[in-house]
Structure 1
Amino acid sequence: MPATIEGQITMEKTPSYFITKGVPARIHNMSRRVKLLIVVRDPVTRAISDYTQAVSKRPDLPSFERMAFVNDSVGLVDTSWGAIRIGVYVKHLERWLQYFPLEQMHFVSGERLISDPAGEMAKVQRFLGLKCVVTEKHFYFNTTKGFPCLKKPEGSGSPHCLGKTKGRQHPHIDAKVLQRLRDFFRPFNQKFYQMTGQDFGWS
Structure 2
Amino acid sequence: MEYQLKKLVTHYRKALQIKPDNLAVYHQIAELYYEQGNLDKTLEVCQEALQIQPDSALVLIVLNKMLQTLGFEGEEVTAFQNIPKNKLYYESLHILLSRSQKVKTFADAKTWKDAMVLGYHLKLKKHWDEAIAAYMKAIEIEPSLSLSYFELNYIICYCTSLEPKQIESIITSYHQVIKARITPPCAYVILGDMLTKQDKIAEAITAYKTAINQTTYSDNKYTNKYIDSHKINEVSFLIIGIGKCGTSSLYIYLCQHPQILSSTKKEVRFFNQNFDLGLDWYLAHFPPLPVEGGFLTGEATPWYLSSYGVEKKVFELFPNIKLIAILRNPVTRAISHYYMHLRSMRENRSLEVAMTSELEILKGMADPTQVSEKYWQTEKGYLQSGLYFYFLEKWMTVFPREQFLILRSEDLSSQTDKTMKQVYEFLEIPNYSLSGYPKINSGYYSDISNELRQKLSDFFLPHNQKLEDYLSRKFNWE
Fold-level similarity (TM above 0.5): yes
Task: Find the counterpart in structure 2 of residue 145 from structure 1.
Answer: none
Write the mapping of 1:63-74 to structure 2, written as runs, cut at 5 A: 63-70=350-357
Structure 1: 5+ residue runs without aligned partners? Answer: 140-147, 150-160
Over the aligned positions, Cα root-mean-square deviation in angstroms equals: 1.9
Indicate yes or no: 2:451 matched with 1:176: yes
3-state SS in 2 of match to 1:12 = strand
The one-letter amino acid of 2:443's match is R
The partner residue of 1:114 within 403, 413, 417 is: 413
1:38–1:108 Cα contact (<8 Å) kept: yes
The partner residue of 2:462 within 176, 187, 192 is: 187
Shift in Å, 1:78: 3.9
Shift in Å, 1:59: 8.0
The partner residue of 2:435 within 138, 141, 145 is: 138
Deviations 1:17-64 (A, max 9, x none): 111112101100111111100011000000000011111122861111
3-state SS in 2 of match to 1:86 = helix
Task: Find the counterpart in structure 1 of residue 387 from structure 2.
Answer: 88
Indicate yes or no: 2:332 matched with 1:45: yes
3-state SS in 2 of match to 1:90 = helix
Distance of aligned partners of 1:60 and 1:92 in 2 relative to their CA distance in 1, 3 Å threshold:
closer
1:52–1:171 Cα contact (<8 Å) kept: no
The partner residue of 1:123 within 407, 413, 422 is: 422
Indicate yes or no: 2:323 matched with 1:36: yes
Deviations 1:111-131 (A, max 9, x none): 111111111101111111111
Question: Which structure carries more relative contact order (alpha carbon 8 Å, separation 6+)?
Answer: 1
1:35–1:105 Cα contact (<8 Å) kept: yes
Counterparts of 1:68 and 1:183 in 2: how far apart (Å)?
A: 13
1:90–1:191 Cα contact (<8 Å) kept: yes
Counterparts of 1:101 and 1:39 in 2: how far apart (Å)?
A: 18
Deviations 1:57-113 (A, max 9, x none): 228611111011139xxxx54435301100000111111012111111111111111
2:341–2:347 Cα contact (<8 Å) kept: no
Task: Find the counterpart in structure 2 of residue 201 from structure 1.
Answer: 476
Task: Find the counterpart in structure 2 of residue 61 from structure 1.
Answer: 348
Counterparts of 1:10 and 1:68 in 2: how far apart (Å)?
A: 38
1:17–1:23 Cα contact (<8 Å) kept: yes
Structure 2: 5+ residue runs without aligned partners? Answer: 1-282, 363-374
The one-letter amino acid of 1:20's match is S
Task: Find the counterpart in structure 2 of residue 21 from structure 1.
Answer: 308
The one-letter amino acid of 2:337's match is D
The partner residue of 1:167 within 442, 445, 456 is: 442
Deviations 1:128-186 (A, max 9, x none): 1111122xx532xxxxxxxx41xxxxxxxxxxx53xxx222223311011011111101
The one-letter amino acid of 1:195's match is Y
Greater Cα radius of gyration, structure 1 or 2: 2
Distance of aligned partners of 1:110 and 1:77 in 2 relative to their CA distance in 1, 3 Å threshold:
farther
1:77–1:181 Cα contact (<8 Å) kept: no
Distance of aligned partners of 1:96 and 1:56 in 2 relative to their CA distance in 1, 3 Å threshold:
same
The one-letter amino acid of 2:449's match is D
1:34–1:104 Cα contact (<8 Å) kept: yes
The one-letter amino acid of 1:128's match is L
3-state SS in 2 of match to 1:38 = strand
The one-letter amino acid of 1:86's match is S
1:48–1:170 Cα contact (<8 Å) kept: no
- The structure that is helix-richer by fraction is 2
The one-letter amino acid of 1:102's match is R
Distance of aligned partners of 1:98 and 1:62 in 2 relative to their CA distance in 1, 3 Å threshold:
same
3-state SS in 1 of match to 2:303 = helix
Shift in Å, 1:190: 1.2
Counterparts of 1:13 and 1:59 in 2: how far apart (Å)?
A: 22
